[in-house]
């Protein structure tokens, strides 16, 4: 009987001179993400720090970029949760300073956004089967993933999720207040619908979060003993498959809602009224 010997696998990787063997336009997705995210961040930063054109008193429209409005510079009607922040602060401190830092933290630590900006901004890597640009990945034993500062802070995402849920309740309250007529009382305008579309999408993004899914079904050893939580877990799991879509859609609805309220407040046009 002839014995066959098998050579041990080489410890060295194959030496391929090309940077990648991919022939498709793999760079298009991260480039598009880079352009879109950069434009949105610039817009949101400018609008959050403008300190004007954020409230339409006639219809009680408040842009989400200023909600909750807690500065003493806020109009009384826009400050349902009190005005306790001094009015004369540096321009880079937004009127909604108690919410925006947490919402930023929630999105920065989100699993979907991590993948997006790791690929688009850090090129670590820019796509599958494309070498990483990070120096740490080129040094044996230096790559630590998200286990050390500052990336270990990504683990606080679950806590940001809780606060984001509370802020979504505030946004819902703002949308309810938008049922305000031009003569007082109940009314519906195009702005009302835009605010509600935005808040529904925000709830979709918040509830589809991986942390929410874990809260619904995590630590359960037997689903049959917790039928209510199992049902909630299955519903959130369905939303979870579209988490990335909600993450992008909400960037659009936030910008659209803010732009509409800003233009109305500036007097660029009148609100299209459906009722009163």
Each residue's pLDDT, cut to its tens digit, for the chain (276 residues) gives: 555 555 555 556 667 677 788 889 999 999 999 999 999 999 999 999 999 999 999 999 999 999 999 999 999 999 999 999 999 889 899 999 999 999 999 999 999 999 999 999 998 889 988 888 766 666 666 777 788 888 899 999 999 999 999 999 999 999 999 999 988 899 999 999 999 999 999 999 999 999 999 999 988 889 999 999 999 999 999 999 999 999 999 999 999 999 999 999 999 999 999 999
Closest of 23, 21, 41, 44 to residue 33, by C-alpha: 41
CB atoms within 10 A of CB 194: 21
CA distance 62 to 64: 6
- The gap from C-alpha 134 to its chain's centroid, in whole angstroms, comes to 25
Radius of gyration of the chain (CA): 24
- The gap from C-alpha 60 to its chain's centroid, in whole angstroms, comes to 25
Per domain, the residue ranges of the chain are 28-270
Q: How many helices (H) and strands (E) does the chain have?
A: 9, 4
Using an 8 Å Cβ cutoff, are 75 and 95 in contact?
A: no
């Amino acid at each position: 009987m002839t014995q066959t010997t098998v050579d041990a696998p080489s410890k060295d990787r194959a030496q391929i001179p090309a940077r990648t063997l991919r022939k498709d336009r793999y760079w298009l997705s991260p480039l598009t993400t880079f352009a879109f995210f950069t434009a949105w961040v610039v817009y949101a930063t400018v609008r959050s720090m403008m300190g004007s054109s954020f409230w339409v008193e006639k219809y009680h429209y408040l842009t989400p970029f200023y909600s909750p409005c807690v500065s003493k510079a806020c109009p009384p009607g826009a400050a349902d949760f009190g005005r306790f922040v001094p009015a004369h602060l540096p321009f880079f401190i937004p009127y909604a300073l108690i919410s925006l830092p947490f919402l930023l933290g929630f999105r920065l630590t989100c699993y979907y956004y991590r993948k997006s900006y790791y690929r688009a901004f850090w090129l670590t890597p820019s796509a599958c089967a494309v070498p990483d640009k990070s120096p740490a990945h080129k040094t044996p034993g230096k790559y630590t993933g998200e286990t050390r500062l500052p990336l270990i802070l990504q683990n606080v995402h679950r806590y940001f999720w809780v606060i984001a849920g509370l802020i979504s309740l505030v946004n819902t309250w703002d949308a309810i207040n938008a049922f305000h007529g031009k003569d007082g009382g109940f009314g519906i305008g195009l702005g009302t619908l835009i605010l509600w579309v935005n808040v529904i999408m925000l709830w979709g993004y918040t509830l589809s979060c991986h942390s929410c899914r874990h809260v619904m079904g995590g630590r359960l050893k037997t689903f049959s003993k917790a039928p209510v939580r199992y049902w909630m877990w299955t519903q959130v799991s369905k939303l979870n498959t579209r988490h990335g879509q909600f993450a992008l859609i909400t960037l659009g609805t936030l910008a659209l809602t803010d732009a509409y309220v800003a233009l109305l407040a500036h007097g660029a046009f009148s609100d299209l009224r459906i009722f009163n």
